[in-house]
Structure 1
């Protein structure tokens, strides 16, 4: 048929006129396929609806941000970094400058490896590179830290706590009194928040060879009835919490990955388990058939032990970050995958120079959080869309900081502190000064005592001022000290005749009985003979 279709209805004058364009009749098969493809594309866009039109960055860290936690209401954000600090952000109290309202350093010299809010969002767990996890309240005040175990006890079940650095920790999804931690000592432990001195349960993973293999990550399922742990030998082990359960895992996948596992995540229905590893892969597992993975996504470089996986609020998508390689031209990406089709849906470039480590998609805010950073900088990127996102970043971005006026004046207060004056200061310790003087040979030399009379202390006129006559005779050459140059034998024999003629003291008593003394002759005479 050529041309528009014939109008419907009769030819009479009483028929109503047709309004609008005529109805199109179905065309050839090609046009049908094109229209179906267009509809499918629009449906996909409407179905995914990833909020990424706008972005803000929560800065403040000097190194990569390795831990992230957003409370359930979406008002407070925690970020922990390799620079040993923890920053707390409050969307309700921030303005467009996006500054944190509190900074903490949980353990000096230890990286922050995990953060987790309690189910009621009144407390949070902080896991660092030390062996002790800490609990803080909502405002950042320390409530306590768990006890450290005895490192000299060989059996880990007999220690009161972890003995080496922690790797991961997570709060129970339903119970606000229970948390789970994993450590490099090769154990998982369940703790009661009300008792910081003892644990509730110690879980030792199943190993092919005896020894200590670190547990690199751990997680609860959505009901808190199962625990999954990533072991350093690449295996994935799952325990079901039931009466009389022990360390023997219910499900064990020996060769889950070829390298350390950095993240595990259960779906809300408990049928899907996602795993992320150092080997650059993301695997999707069916909990009913754990012998082989459903799908493996490769070419996802990962250089950080805290790289995780997250689900979208409706769990149609799951996402994970990538690290920047040395010779690569691409930066850190956030990759989105379809759960049903098991295919890559979209990639979002977060930073051209920094790696993406942690990610989260908040259900109530409908905003995506991604932590990134490198050796010299770090921050938390928040992606949102004003049309579909609520509160969160929208609240603080709308608050512009107040501009300074010309008339603004603030007097600088002069603080008078009387105790800072010199007269109120404590005298400095002179111990170090005395030790320094004792090491100096000139200052530590004892001075000579003064002379008393013609001679004192075995010295005669050493000061050259006590005996003027003696000083003048010495200087004039009238007094000659010859005893240094004289032979001692000859000096004694000079008085031999005097002693024989005029004996004194003992000699007269033995004058009749004592034989005549025989003196040895000089060496020179013996040599002449």
Structure 2
């Protein structure tokens, strides 16, 4: 009994010894002195904040705006030419790396929230929440024309891939198309039941795709305004569309939605 008891006691001592680590002088590699003032107080819920000055490696900083920026566009023909617009109701043309050059586009009645250069870089379209689109001659900086018609703010503007035909989606559920060279209305596409949040010409210029807060994608013939397909309901998005892109061969539309999903639609058949 005693032997067994002693064995059990020794076993317990061994287990305790295995859980403890003892350091001797020759085990210490180096000592580091720590200033206790630099340590956070025990139980302090606030994380220590450290101000670190990091170098600004920006190529260019443009500070012309006095409010939030909503849109930016770069010229397809001039690598340093940029256009910006924002909540200060202003638009600017400026050049990267040329801090002493900028051209202000005259103030709007409301925020500038969409900009797009034409494919040849000659024209800049500026859409605003005032429901108007201004078209600017880039080389001269002069206003070429003002396009109206939509009954709500402009959500986006897009150019035809091979010409000065302009497309725009509106908060009033419609899409409008104009000839920017002549400043004339061409067509209006209606059918959506909510803000037209995204849209574009296909790269071949033969079709228009548009997405809306009504959770539908519509595919149009730009020549006669015919609605070729309406894509909605299961298995498509259950909430409003937020973004859209079209593949380079003009066959597929890829759409994103507030429902956290992405769908791919065949433009020819309208099938998901």
Measured on the aligned residues, the alpha-carbon RMSD in Å equals 2.7
Task: Say whether the 8 Å CA contact 1:168–1:218 is kept in structure 2.
Answer: yes
Deviations 1:290-335 (A, max 9, x none): 34x222222323447xx232111211101110113xxxxxxx1111
Task: Say whether the 8 Å CA contact 1:147–1:161 is kept in structure 2.
Answer: no
Per the alignment, residue 191 of structure 2 pairs with 299
Any residues of structure 2 matched to 1:358-369 within 5 Å, and which?
358-363=243-248, 366-369=251-254
Please point out which of 212, 226, 229 is paired with 1:343.
226
Task: Say whether the 8 Å CA contact 1:236–1:256 is kept in structure 2.
Answer: no
Task: Say whether the 8 Å CA contact 1:323–1:333 is kept in structure 2.
Answer: yes
Please point out which of 143, 153, 173 is paired with 1:249.
143
Following TM superposition, by how much is the alpha carbon of 1:230 offset from its aligned partner in structure 2, in angstroms? 1.2
Looking at both structures, which has the greater relative contact order when contacts are Cα pairs under 8 Å and sequence separation is at least 6?
Answer: 1
The CA distance in 1 between the partners of 2:249 and 2:146, in whole Å, is: 35
The CA distance in 1 between the partners of 2:188 and 2:249, in whole Å, is: 30
What TM-score comes out, normalization by structure 2 length? 0.67
The CA distance in 2 between the partners of 1:143 and 1:378, in whole Å, is: 34
The CA distance in 1 between the partners of 2:151 and 2:217, in whole Å, is: 23
Per the alignment, residue 239 of structure 1 pairs with 136
Deviations 1:209-228 (A, max 9, x none): xxx52112111000111001
Deviations 1:165-210 (A, max 9, x none): 1111122222332222111111112233335x565322125x5xxx
The CA distance in 1 between the partners of 2:223 and 2:77, in whole Å, is: 28
Please point out which of 54, 78, 89 is paired with 1:186.
89
Following TM superposition, by how much is the alpha carbon of 1:231 offset from its aligned partner in structure 2, in angstroms? 2.6
Any residues of structure 2 matched to 1:393-412 within 5 Å, and which?
none
The CA distance in 2 between the partners of 1:204 and 1:367, in whole Å, is: 39
Does residue 166 of structure 2 align to residue 273 of structure 1? yes
Please point out which of 67, 83, 107 is paired with 1:164.
67
Does residue 99 of structure 2 align to residue 200 of structure 1? no
The CA distance in 2 between the partners of 1:338 and 1:143, in whole Å, is: 47
What SS does structure 1 have at the residue aligned with 2:238? coil
Q: Which runs of 5+ in 1 are unaligned?
A: 1-141, 149-159, 325-331, 386-529
Task: Say whether the 8 Å CA contact 1:283–1:297 is kept in structure 2.
Answer: yes
Q: Which has the higher helix share?
A: 1
Does residue 58 of structure 2 align to residue 144 of structure 1? yes
Task: Say whether the 8 Å CA contact 2:212–2:242 is kept in structure 1.
Answer: yes
Aligned residues: 210
Greater Rg, structure 1 or structure 2?
A: 1
Cα 1:383–1:185 change in 2 (3 A) is same
Does residue 202 of structure 2 align to residue 312 of structure 1? yes
Task: Say whether the 8 Å CA contact 2:204–2:250 is kept in structure 1.
Answer: no
Deviations 1:372-397 (A, max 9, x none): 11xxx424333469xxxxxxxxxxxx
Per the alignment, residue 80 of structure 2 pairs with 177
Q: Which has the higher strand share?
A: 2
What SS does structure 1 have at the residue aligned with 2:183? coil
Deviations 1:18-50 (A, max 9, x none): xxxxxxxxxxxxxxxxxxxxxxxxxxxxxxxxx
Cα 1:383–1:167 change in 2 (3 A) is same
Following TM superposition, by how much is the alpha carbon of 1:237 offset from its aligned partner in structure 2, in angstroms? 0.9
Q: Which runs of 5+ in 2 are unaligned?
A: 1-55, 268-272
The CA distance in 2 between the partners of 1:276 and 1:383, in whole Å, is: 20
Please point out which of 195, 204, 212 is paired with 1:322.
212
Following TM superposition, by how much is the alpha carbon of 1:146 offset from its aligned partner in structure 2, in angstroms? 5.6
Deviations 1:426-460 (A, max 9, x none): xxxxxxxxxxxxxxxxxxxxxxxxxxxxxxxxxxx
The CA distance in 2 between the partners of 1:147 and 1:192, in whole Å, is: 10
Does residue 144 of structure 2 align to residue 259 of structure 1? no
